[in-house]
Amino acid sequence: MIKKISIFGITDVGRSRTHNEDDFAICKDLSNHKWGFKRGEVHSLSELGALLIVADGMGGENAGEVASHLAQETVKEDFDALDELPDSVSEREGLLARSILKAHQAVVNHQHKNLDTAGMGTTLIIAWVVEDSVHVAWSGDSRCYIYNGYKPLYPFTEDHSLVWQMVEENHMTPEEARVHPESNIVTQSLGDEKNPPQPSVKTTKLYKGNQLILCSDGLNGMLSDEQIESVLEDGGPIDETCGKLIKAANEAGGGDNITCLMLEVHEGAEPSEADLAAQSQIKSKTTTTQILRKKNSSKSLMIGVLIVVIAVLAAWIYFDGRSPEANADPVIQDRDTGQTEEPVDSAETNQDPPIEDEPGDVDPPEEEQPPVADPDPEPAEEPSETPDEQSPLPPGNAERPSEEEKDSVRQQIPPVQKDTTLTEPGKKIQEPKDTMSTQPALPDSTNADSTADTTSTGSIEKQVNN
């Protein structure tokens, strides 16, 4: 447990500014609401501990000093209302983070009521020393260092700035970030209503001989970590050390307002070498921003698992739908008749239509001529013989009939009446064959009965028309 501490703080306008936009507050005893400090005073740490606050206002003529003052006053009011110490570390860190958010809202509300201060803002860092630990919360690029005599000195906090992001990504060193022309660009602060801060928090143990430093970027922007460490190594009371650091920053240029607060542990636990080594290497890992990232990462993992499950189900449904049962052809229904018809297999639709057999031994006509309408249609009699029963053509060397024989044949042909009634639906009407391409059938001289057997209307008419 920490028993005895001393506290001191100082702020300076610097060499380049005309007014000081930094502000700070110190409470050496939260249990008794004793705000302030005395140079060189060593006192006991109360049950509720001690509090250190640094705010670096932004906005220039738009009242940056008003924003920094509002922020530290809001934190003071918040801790003045503290009656008992939260039990867990997470509860204490949560209290610090909420206090920063309240300070942010106070700055925003002031801008709504005073339009001439629109655009003002501030960084804010709070260190709460209680029992055997220090809890730190911050938004912006104001820093906290813990000096324990173990080299090298390294910031206990990580700046919310553009260049420090590049340091964390190993794109530049801390010294390169310090002298970078865009080192003044912060990634979060208090006062921007559209971009509220996401305070970072961090906790570590303090040991006897430890010195806690809170400062605005007017100090660490002018001095490197090695230069700050060299001043701390000189030792002496913390009030003298604070003065030396302010002087060194001004001598380095004093390009900004400079604020430096220090707390020293005079009585507390004796650290081991391993404790000091681990303490100097601590970096902020359990910050609010990183907690949010962890939550987002867990949420992304759940979404990823859900996507995989949906993909598997979709694949199962797709391949199950391609099974033989699912692939059965649907029944097609005719809209007009309401009858159903199974779809024709595609393999069958690609086959050529069957060719009807031609009548045996009958050559197809070379050229089919359309039938000529008869002005006096007569009903046609169907042939008494099938094509297979027609009389064979006479041999090529048979004698051609004389004109007398042709006349006798014509006299034997009875008159035929053509049927003008419509045929039944679907009944095929036999068309007369081309008389130009069909050789007439002559009566066989050797068989007198063959002439009578071939008196079908179709064949004889063709012969007569020859």
Q: Kindly give the confidence (pLDDT) of every residue in the chain, 466 residues in length, as a single tens digit, with 9 standing for 90 and above.
A: 999 999 999 999 999 999 999 999 999 999 999 999 999 999 999 999 999 999 999 986 678 999 999 999 999 999 999 999 999 999 999 999 999 999 999 999 999 999 999 999 999 999 999 999 999 999 999 999 999 887 788 899 999 999 988 998 889 988 888 889 888 899 999 999 999 999 999 999 999 999 999 999 999 999 999 999 999 999 899 999 999 999 999 999 999 999 999 999 999 999 888 887 777 665 554 444 333 333 333 344 455 557 777 887 787 777 666 555 544 444 444 445 444 444 444 444 444 545 444 444 445 555 555 555 544 555 555 444 444 444 444 444 445 566 666 666 666 666 555 444 444 444 444 544 444 444 444 444 434 344 334 333 343 343 334 3
Task: Provide CB contacts within 8 A for 12, sequence distance 6+.
Answer: 20, 218, 246, 249, 250, 254, 257, 258, 259
pLDDT on residue 302 = 55
Residues 276 and 371 in one domain: no
By CB atoms closer than 10 A (0-12, 13-18, 19+), residue 247 is middle
Instruction: Give the count of beta carbons closer than 10 Å to the beta carbon of residue 378.
Output: 12
Q: Is residue 332 part of a domain?
A: no
Q: Which two tokens stand for residue 278?
A: 């681990």
Q: Which two tokens stand for residue 244?
A: 């030396």
Does 372 map to a domain?
Answer: yes
- How many domains is the chain partitioned into structurally? 2
Q: Does 367 lie in the same domain as 281? A: no
pLDDT the model gives residue 238: 97
d(CA 256, CA 19): 10
Asked if the structure places residue 196 within a domain, the reply is: yes
Query: The domain spanning residue 22 has which CATH number?
Result: 3.60.40.10
Residues 117 and 257 grouped into a single domain:
yes
* H runs (alpha helix) in 30-88: 64-80
Range of the domain at 58: 4-286
- Co-location of 369 and 259 in the same domain: no
Burial of residue 128, with CB atoms counted within 10 A of its CB: 0-12 exposed, 13-18 middle, 19 or more buried: buried
pTM over 0.75: no
pLDDT of amino acid 142 = 96
Whether 316 maps to a domain, the answer reads no
Domain presence at residue 241: yes
Q: Same domain for 367 and 228?
A: no
**Residues 175 and 238: beta-carbon distance below 8 Å:** no
CA angle centred on 442, ends 437 and 445, rounded to 5°: 160
Q: Are residues 270 and 411 in the same domain?
A: no
Q: In angstroms, what CA-CA distances link 37 with 52, 245, 252, 285, 289?
A: 11, 19, 28, 32, 33
Residues 127 and 254 occupy one common structural domain: yes
Q: Is 145 exposed, middle or buried (0-12, 13-18, 19+ CB in 10 A)?
A: buried
Same domain, 18 and 141: yes
Residues 282 and 377 in one domain: no
Kindly state whether residue 169 falls inside one of the protein's structural domains. Answer: yes
| Domain co-membership, 133 together with 277 | yes
**End of a domain among 238, 268, 286?**
286
Written as six digits, the tokens of 436 are 């130009």
Backbone angles phi, psi at 44, to 5 degrees: -80, 150
Question: For residues 92 and 129, is the Cβ–Cβ distance under 8 A?
Answer: no
Q: 211-215 and 258-267: which strand pairing?
A: antiparallel
Among 286, 316, 350, identify where a domain stops.
286
Asked if 156 and 252 sit in the same domain, the reply is yes
Whether residue 262 sits in one domain with residue 406: no
293 domain residue, yes or no = no
Final residue belonging to a domain, choices 286, 306, 333: 286
pLDDT of residue 77: 96
